[in-house]
Structure formats: C-alpha cells, structure tokens
Amino acid sequence: SPADALGGDGSRHSSPPISEAMKENGSPSIAEALKPNGLEVPEEYRFDDWVKLFVMIEEMDTHSPWWLGDAINEGERFGDRCWQFIKARRRKYETLMNYRRVAAAWPRPLRSEVLPFSHHAVCYQQPDKEGWLRKAEENQWSVSEMRAQIFPKAQKVRCTCPTCGKEHTVPK
C-alpha cells in the first residue's frame, strides 16, 4: 500500500515506512486507520501516533503525482493493457499524462527533495530546467514566483478600466 511504501521505496527520504515504525513501538498500523471513505483513528492511538499519521497523509498528497507518474512510465511496458487501465481510472486522463511527462523528464536523482512536484512541472520543458529548480530552491520561490521568472511575458496585472470602472486582469 502507499502507506507501507512511504519512505521505504528507495527514495531519498531516510525515515522508515511509518506503518513499520508504528508497529515496532506497539502502535496500530496506519492501514487500520485509512479507509476508502475517510479516516478511522483507533482509540489506542497516542498523540505521537496521530502526528505520524497526519504527516504520512500529508506526504502522500504531496508525493502522489511523482508516484503516479513513475507508475505510468513503468506500466508502459505492458502496452495497451496499461493504457486501457489508465483511461478507466477516476482521475482525469490529462492530469495523469502530465504526471507521466514530468516524471519522465525528471529522473529521480535530479528531483528536488525540497520542492514539490508542481515546481518541477513548471520548468520540465526548459533547456536549463535544473538551473531553474536550483534558483527556485535558493530563492524559496513559490510556484507562481517561479512561473513569473521563467515566463515573464505571461505576467498579468490588475487594473481599473477607465471606461467601465471595473477591475480587470490584463497582460503586463
């Protein structure tokens, strides 16, 4: 399960899988709390258990585009069966294909441990994508700030129309 894979998938995250760490200290497994329609936290969870669960869920949300993109790229070896399966999923096909393209453009050793998938997605087609990622890390740019640095012509400003008096967003 994704919960069991977190941290134990060979990624650069050094922490052990949360579910294993919780089992080692006698805590209930993460899998017991995660349900398809929500979260069912066992009464015996201590505060530390709850914190680990919260962080694990937060990390799953942050890292799932990478995992899905990598999974699709790996699944391509299954040919048509892969694509039939992907097209039948609940997520938008275009979103999954974006995850696939970005993951393919960024081999795991080149991916930032600090910046999320969205930063990588902004610059994955740039000739100096590694340089842009490094600048974003050094300057602690948000995704919007990074996009504005890479695509300055696409910047827009809000201004008041002298004719109608309403505010509009227009190209800078």
pLDDT tens by residue, the chain, 172 residues: 333 333 333 333 334 444 454 455 555 567 777 788 888 888 888 898 888 888 888 888 889 999 999 999 999 999 999 999 998 988 899 999 999 999 999 999 999 999 999 999 999 999 999 999 999 999 999 999 999 999 987 666 778 888 888 887 766 6
Smallest CA-to-CA distance from 99 within 132, 134, 73, 125 is with 73
CA distances from 170 to 52, 153, 162, 167 (A): 45, 11, 14, 10
Residues 6 or more apart whose CB falls under 8 angstroms from that of 115 comprise 133, 136, 137
Q: What's the whole-model pTM score?
A: 0.66
Question: Residue 110 corresponds to which tokens in the numbers above?
Answer: 């080149």
